[in-house]
Chain A
């Protein structure tokens, strides 16, 4: 064996070790105690795989494989540029803006996967036949990678507020999306049938897929974005696996398939928790997301408005208080205010817990991250199954910016939210809801909790409402 062959074997083993580290890392993310370590294991695997690749390229160069010094310039420049930008944004981003950053990282990952296929396609000799499997993997990689790239950028821009979060529906927009899909499929089939490189057709596929990513994501409301980002994350994984087939690299195939599977499961879990199907969301549903549409009080029953002073007295003299944080709290970035209020109450001897619905916030688990950032002790955060039996014993439940996840209508059949798992807020002795208006939530229906006779409505933005409560509790 030559030195190059030995290095090649060792590099392949290192890639395998990297793949193993990804699996172990993901499985250690099962519990909060080992999650951070799991991420480090995964990062270690990544470092090994990348380091081994550098060694492989160096060895090939030294054994006269025709690799030019310019290659190193490209690699180092790319790593410095991308690494610097990634490091800077990841370290400076506010935790509330984190979902859109994850979406942006997802976009560039998908873009890189598509670029690999494009580069490979350009390198194919004109006029010579391409193997059908290579052709299929290249085309799939370009299509999926491009959709992810533009789709994730749009999703990120929506969450950042650069594009309105509400669904953007153009008359005939669905037809455009369908037409783009049809163009992509027909062009791809034409490529497979002819079996020779055809740059014009490939450009058509690339352009159609890029625009498809935009038209697919634009009509989807802001509140659905977590599901979309998760779906696009799964797409990127699949695109990376396709890139692995294109350049015949096992570690890309393994890692890409892992992420493809994880993203798909996560997408389904999120959609289930909102009682919606992924299809429903992608085709463009009823959800206006974070809109405060229907601002007038059009509810069937009568609503009792309540002032901060009254709420403060209720809270200050309660024994058990449960806080239900929701999307409105995340949007208003009121996680520090809610922690401050809880600490005030605890100083008075009130027992405070947080009820976290699986889809509270902007992504599953996002609320936990936000509250943890605000230094809320982790043991106070209770998941739905754990906290539901405790609502009966709660003196006051403070609902901050949560809507559909508290609607008792979900227990009956015949409502759009039927069957959705909810927090049993209505079983508490007294309920206070901080909300900007009687606007409907994301399901577009009235919340029966608000017309419950035990419920008082404190009409305010989550942050302002909490600030007025903090002041009022201090004065009690």
Chain B
């Protein structure tokens, strides 16, 4: 490996480790109520793999490579689109609904 290659690897590892620490710091504060939406939200974020799938599709010339990248793009898009939509549907339900005024609690003692 050349010095430049080693530099590149170390830089990439640095970014990787720091991103893990950021992930831990951000996520440990989320209340249990939101864990399922959070899991779904995190699930959509790894749909970023679509960027990689598009880049390999752009370079694909062999038929096998074209097929692999087509499947990769379709998979990744499904992850992105489905992930965000289903997370939004879940979170939409957490909206505060207008509360109906309740009758006073005493008359039940009949």
Task: Establish whether residues B86 and A101, one from each chain, have CB atoms under 8 Å apart when the complex forms.
Answer: yes
Q: B83 touches which one: A105, A243, A349, A356 (CB < 8 A)?
A: A105
Task: Establish whether residues B55 and A86, one from each chain, have CB atoms under 8 Å apart when the complex forms.
Answer: no
Task: Establish whether residues B69 and A249, one from each chain, have CB atoms under 8 Å apart when the complex forms.
Answer: no
Give the residues in chain A near B24, CB-CB below 8 Å.
261, 265
Task: Establish whether residues A356 and B75, one from each chain, have CB atoms under 8 Å apart when the complex forms.
Answer: no
Give the residues in chain A near B27, CB-CB below 8 Å.
26, 261-262, 265-266
Q: How far is the CA of A373 from the CA of B97 in the complex (A)?
A: 11
Q: A116 touches which one: B42, B62, B72, B87 (CB < 8 A)?
A: B72
Tell me the total A-B contact number using a CB cutoff of 8 A. 401
Task: Establish whether residues A109 and B90, one from each chain, have CB atoms under 8 Å apart when the complex forms.
Answer: no
Main secondary structure of the interface of B (DSSP, over half): helix
Task: Establish whether residues A122 and B35, one from each chain, have CB atoms under 8 Å apart when the complex forms.
Answer: no
Q: How large is the interface on A (under 10, 10 to 19, 20 to 34, 35 or more residues)?
A: 35 or more
Q: Would you call B4 an interface residue if the criterion is a C-beta within 8 Å of the partner chain's C-beta atoms?
A: no
Q: Would you call B64 an interface residue if the criterion is a C-beta within 8 Å of the partner chain's C-beta atoms?
A: yes
15 extra interface residue pairs, beta carbon distance < 8 Å, beyond A111-B72, A261-B19, A364-B35: A32-B94, A42-B44, A49-B48, A77-B74, A78-B74, A81-B74, A82-B75, A83-B81, A90-B85, A112-B75, A122-B65, A240-B52, A250-B12, A262-B26, A265-B24
Q: List 25 A-B contacts (CB under 8 A).
A: A46-B80, A54-B54, A74-B60, A74-B66, A81-B74, A82-B73, A83-B78, A85-B78, A86-B78, A91-B85, A99-B36, A109-B46, A116-B52, A116-B72, A119-B68, A233-B46, A249-B51, A255-B46, A256-B19, A261-B24, A266-B38, A266-B42, A349-B102, A368-B33, A375-B97
- A residues in contact (CB < 8 Å) with B: 15, 18-19, 22-23, 25-27, 29-32, 35-36, 38-40, 42-43, 46, 49-50, 53-54, 57, 60-61, 67-68, 70-71, 74-75, 77-79, 81-83, 85-87, 89-91, 93, 95, 98-99, 101-102, 105-106, 108-109, 111-113, 115-116, 118-120, 122-123, 131-133, 229-230, 233, 236-237, 240-241, 243-245, 247-263, 265-266, 269-270, 273, 316-319, 346-351, 356, 358, 363-366, 368-369, 372-373, 375, 377-379, 381, 383
